[in-house]
Amino acid sequence: MAQKAAEKAPAFFGQQEYAKGLDGVIACETHINYIDGAAGKMIYRGYDVEEIGEQTNYEETAYLLIYGKLPTQSELDDFTAKLISYRSVPPEVIQVLKIIPTAKTHPMSALRTGVSALGTFNPDAEEQSVENYEDIGLQLIAKLATIAGAVQRIRAGKEPVEPDPSLDHSANFCYMMTGEKPSEVFEKMMGLSLVLHADHGVNASTFSSMVVISSLTDMYSAIAAGIGSLKGPLHGGANEQVLYMLNEIGSADKADEYMDNAIKNKVKIMGFGHRVYKAYDPRARIFALHSKELCEAAGKPELYEIAKRVEEKVIDAYGAKGIFPNVDFYSGTIYHCLGIETAMFTPLFAVSRVAGWVARILEYLPQNRIFRPRAVYLGEKDLQYVPIDQR
């Protein structure tokens, strides 16, 4: 038996390079998204995100990612109607969000808890048919906005509001966060942000949700894992850290000294660098344009000036190493100008990225194989056990 297993062991085992952080390792095949890191290009199912970003909406993007094609009008209407019908969450989930210290804990922890609670109220949560995984996936796309909206309202000391079926996904999300119908600018920028953050290759949170689902566990566990990973400051949590940094700098004339210090001390600058992009992140390019507009319209031109100066200093110092702004650098300035609480920036990212997590899971499941990498063992071998009274 051992001999047979040894024969089955991949021939390269033992010679394969250890890739820290799985850098460069191919973990799956996909038709969903491609990132050209050198050119700073990114496509959803063949469509360049800089082309479609301002023409499409979140519902159409989610449909494209999951089903592989742009929907016809009737397909989009049916999909939108289904998401609208899925928006409400059991009142007990809202109760859970009120029982945990939602106003004090990190909103991503509250969001993660809300998703876990949601799963316990679904009697079909454990059913493993592809149809059920897909249906729960669509429910989570619809309900994550509702849970995030409720988290924001409870943090603001206000009652969560019921979803408004007359509003599209991004406008309804704004409404559930603020309790008011969004302005045209708010709705437009939220819609663009949800489109641009929807999917992005095998990033840490997407990979987390794929690894978790690969054991054929339930969808709620996989999405909660994605939320947990996205929360980290090296990943989705960077957008929040960027704003804290810009506020700490305080004015454009202080940016040079602050950045010279950070660069001298080799501080990782939040919102810069990427495992795949060694050029400007195309999403950051789009956000930078809107950041200038919105900061000026909000009477906060200085915020954009500080960000611009930080960008110049970082590219000057690290551009040659392929370190440029990533999606998280300008997105926070936009959210800030829309009046969104800084701690809520990463939940906004999750409300969008859940479409990518679901699309990847549904793509991987039909040819599922549990993720189980190896490690290079560097420890001792053949040690003899010594009874405790002789140690």
274 is annotated as an active-site residue: yes
Helices (H), ranges, the chain: 2-8, 49-52, 58-67, 73-86, 91-99, 107-120, 130-155, 169-178, 184-196, 204-213, 219-230, 238-249, 252-264, 282-297, 301-318, 327-337, 345-364
By beta-carbon proximity to ligand SDX, the closer residue of 178 and 193 is 193
CB of 201: closest distance to ligand SDX in angstroms?
A: 5
Are the CB atoms for 79 and 63 separated by under 8 Å? Answer: yes
Most distant CA pair in the chain, distance: 78
Which residue among the candidates 197, 199, 328, 336 is catalytic per the annotation?
328
Measured in whole angstroms, the distance separating CA 292 from the mean position of its chain's CA atoms is 24
Tokens of 382: 């053949």
Measured in whole angstroms, the distance separating CA 81 from the mean position of its chain's CA atoms is 24
Residue nearest to ligand SDX according to CB distances in the complex: 273
Burial class (CB in 10 A: 0-12, 13-18, 19+), 106: middle
CB of 20: closest distance to ligand SDX in angstroms?
A: 8
CB of 267: closest distance to ligand SDX in angstroms?
A: 7
Q: Under DSSP, is residue 33 helix (H, G, I), strand (E, B) or coil?
A: strand
Among left, alpha and beta (phi > 0; psi -120 to 50; other), residue 48 is: beta
135 is annotated as an active-site residue: no
Query: What is the rounded distance in angstroms from the CA atom of residue 173 to the CA atom of residue 190?
Result: 9
235 is annotated as an active-site residue: yes
CB of 359: closest distance to ligand SDX in angstroms?
A: 13
By beta-carbon proximity to ligand SDX, the closer residue of 218 and 240 is 240
- List CB contacts of 267: < 8 A, sequence separation 6 or more: 261
Q: Give me the residues that bind ligand SDX (CB under 6 A), please.
A: 21, 200-201, 203, 234-236, 238, 268-275, 318, 321, 323, 326-328
CB of 233: closest distance to ligand SDX in angstroms?
A: 6
Identify the helix (H) or strand (E) that includes residue 36.
Answer: strand 33-36
Which residue among the candidates 274, 281, 290, 336 is catalytic per the annotation?
274
User: What count of Cα atoms within 13 Å lies in the side-chain half-sphere of residue 342?
Assistant: 12
Compute the Cα dihedral for 246, 248, 250, 254 and give only its sign. Answer: negative
CB of 97: closest distance to ligand SDX in angstroms?
A: 26
For residue 377, report the phi and psi dihedrals to the nearest 5 degrees: -80, 125
By beta-carbon proximity to ligand SDX, the closer residue of 148 and 259 is 259
Residues annotated as catalytic are 235, 274, 328
